[in-house]
Amino acid sequence: MHFIGGVPRPLGLGLLLLGLIAPISGLGFRRGKLDRGFLGEPSKIPTLQRSLESEDLWFEQKLDHFKASDGRTWQQRYFVNADYYRNDSSAPIFLMIGGEGEASAKWMREGAWVHYAEHFGALCLQLEHRFYGKSHPTADLSTENLHYLSSEQALEDLASFVTAMKVKFNLADGQKWIAFGGSYPGSLAAWAREKYPKLIYGSISSSGPLLAEVDFREYFEVVKASLAAYKPECVEAVTRSFAQVEILLKHMIGQRSLDEKFKTCTPIKDSIENDLDMANFFENLAGNFAGVVQYNKDNSPHATITIDDVCDVMLNTTVGPPVTRLGLVNDMLLKESNTTCLDYKYEKMVADMKNVSWDSETAKGMRQWTYQTCHEFGFYQTSDNQADTFGGRFGVDFFIRQCMDVFSKNMDAKFLDLVVSATNENYGALKPKTTNVLYVHGSIDPWHALGLVKTSNRSLPTIYIEGTAHCANMYEPVKTDPPQLVAARN
């Protein structure tokens, strides 16, 4: 899903799930997604198991599952860990679903699911998602080639993979396959059980958005609520800081002051008349808080700065007025992403995003995940009310414009409404026609707004963890985990 994928900064799902856009050369958070995908690696602190190797394995996959006459194939990467496998007809198979970033072999040795595997004697497999990491179905990432990138093709990949692995490992029909995924793969885990109940016995869907939505305005509402849960005054200070940015923008001296405070790569005076540049500028500043909230206190390499850290800066009156404190928060995030200046130029972002080479920076997931949001999900994290905390500069039109400028002029508002409706129709949105899926969400994570958080049907149980963020239950357990997270994992 900012997604999940991800929404990737392409959209945040998160992603992991989904896991949307601002300048690539700016912060590492775009559309709710870190450059490395929503989920990232399984632990901040390497465990002893991590040193054990998991080699890249390759599976011959069809390019187009929906066209029988198309015989083209490609090599899809996967990983195996059989260390805990009981190798009898009752042992389960655990399938970790890859998402909107490179699949990490570290998940084969770490993460909560590995502890479950040890307990149940399971065989562990992880399949990388088509078009991410090293799983390259086509020669490049042209818009024409991205036609083969969709959740439906990815689910067919999973079905083919499961069928082939049953033969490869001589698995009995009665052995239960359990799918795991976080962020966008959390959605895929739920949908895999829905679409292939004969192959997937059950799924654990962590932080997976089920409702596709073009204008995901709830995202920043949860960001505000999560900041307020630490201290209500924090939201007030953030609101005042954004209002002060607007005031400073009105005058040349104020604009120069903002350049200094926010370490802009190019002077604001050159962009003040460019609404797209200014939308990008504000979306970056809001994204600073979104990224911190989304991964707050996860045992994840993403989560180095917490809500407490940014709110303590925003409430520190000794360093200057709120706008100065907002600049200090921006400094923290620039430093974390090893970036020297804040790049908010819209045309540069679009030019970077249009690079179709597998060797480009955007090929780490941003171009692909953005395409998926434009073609299936929306998930655009907007703020279009001038009186609101994050202002009114980046409404849904800003994100739809990116789809049109990066991929195709046909991807307009009407197109987005159609494809998002089709996605919800296909998968059932918040009323899935499935059973035996466990949906897990954290109250701090903005993606919970698009997921199932209440149990209304015993065959679709939910766990809602107060005070935890995106995919928190999936990461390697640590002694400092709060009791409600420990209980959720159990």
Q: Vertex 211, ends 205 and 217: CA angle to 5°?
A: 120
Q: Vertex 365, ends 17 and 109: CA angle to 5°?
A: 60
Alpha-carbon dihedral of residues 316, 319, 322, 325, nearest 10 degrees?
A: -90
Question: Over the stretch 77-98, which tens digit does the pLDDT of each residue have?
Answer: 999 999 999 989 999 999 999 9
Helix and strand element counts for the chain (H, E): 14, 12
What's the whole-model pTM score? 0.92
Per-residue model confidence (pLDDT) at position 54: 87
Which residues have C-beta within 8 Å of that of residue 442, sequence separation ≥ 6? 207, 448, 464, 465, 467, 468, 469, 470, 472, 473
Q: Where does residue 458 rank: exposed (0-12), middle (13-18), buried (19+ CB within 10 A)? A: exposed
| Rounded Cα gap, residues 4 and 189, in angstroms | 12
CA-CA distances (angstroms) from residue 470 to 39, 289, 322, 452?
A: 8, 14, 28, 14
- Active site residues per annotation: 183, 445, 470
Length of the chain: 490
Nearest residue to 258 (alpha-carbon basis) of 315, 335, 318, 327:
327
**Which amino acid makes up residue 393?**
R
Per-residue model confidence (pLDDT) at position 44: 62
443 neighbors 463 (Cβ within 8 angstroms): no
CA-CA distances (angstroms) from residue 82 to 58, 109, 330, 357, 443?
A: 17, 11, 44, 35, 35
Per-residue model confidence (pLDDT) at position 298: 85
Per-residue model confidence (pLDDT) at position 47: 63
- DSSP summary character for residue 424: H
Q: Which of the residues in the chain have pLDDT under 50?
A: 1-37
Per-residue model confidence (pLDDT) at position 50: 58
